[in-house]
Amino acid sequence: MDKRFRKIAIIELIVIIIVWQGLAYAQLIPSYLANPAIIGSQLWGLLVTGDLFMNAGVSLYRSLIGFFIVAITGVAFGIVAGYYRKIGAFFEPLITIVNPVPKIALLPILMVWFGISDVTRILIIFLTAFFPCFIATRDGVHGVNHVFIWAGENMGASRFQILRKVVFPAALPKIFDGLRVSLGLTFIMMFSSEMIGSSNGLGLGFLILSADVAGRTDLMFASIIVIALLGFVFDRILLAVRGRLLWWAER
């Protein structure tokens, strides 16, 4: 995003906040919908009491563990399935069948097996985010221009060297596309796995849930803003890493 867009974005956010506040002040929106001033003070309160860090920390811990497992296994299996076609073909039917299943539907099954625990939540994050990463990596490896591989062979590279020094870097742009989708899904599942099937514990989803039960929309908005911020910040981090590694690829 260039500087001009950033400027416009900030202006737009400020306008939204002002309009919202103005409507609330003029009592044009129902009072049970909190206004920015109250939400701001709630956020501040969460910040000074440390509740924010506790809840966000626990949520982040689960989602980042899930995401790292996805990134490692998804890329590794994706490369193997893409490079060694026979292995890819062996698992292909499984991928075709499991990929379109809305993985969130598996949550009740996992809950029965592993209880309402972090294992269940990390597993559901993993199951959801794995497939985009795996498929993008596999397709990225398939899509590597054959001339690159021939050039590598021509210069005497071994099969493994070609994998490491030609195929992997050439597939990297695609891999990052997949990782970005996976990261987005990670945050969706972080929120959802905390919302479904439990009512106590730590985490931003629980915070929303308990605020909901208490009818506290201000607290709900505050938590949603934190979730949104986390999603945004980690996406930026991923894009920054991508920019570092892929300076040679056009954006």
**Which member of 97, 147, 156, 247 binds another protein (CB under 8 A)?**
97
* CA 136 and chain centroid, separation: 15
Does 20 bind another protein (CB under 8 A)? Our answer is no
Does 195 bind another protein (CB under 8 A)? Our answer is yes
Residue 164: Cβ within 10 Å count:
13
Which x/- pattern, by CB under 8 A, does the window 28-47 give for another protein? ----xx--------------
Does 9 bind another protein (CB under 8 A)? Our answer is yes
State the distance between the two ends of the chain, measured CA to CA, in whole angstroms: 11
Which x/- pattern, by CB under 8 A, does the window 57-96 give for another protein? --------------------------------xxxxxx--
Pinpoint the alpha helices (H) of 84-216.
Answer: 85-98, 107-114, 118-142, 146-154, 159-162, 168-195, 204-213
Shortest Å, Cβ 9 to another protein: 4
* Cα separation, 29 vs 12, whole angstroms: 20
- Contact by Cβ (8 Å): 130, 73: yes
* Cα separation, 103 vs 123, whole angstroms: 10
> By the criterion CB under 8 A, which residues form the site for another protein?
1, 4-6, 8-9, 12, 32-33, 89-94, 97, 100-109, 111-113, 128, 183-184, 187-188, 190-192, 195-197, 208-209, 212, 217, 220-221, 223-224, 227-228, 231-232, 234-236
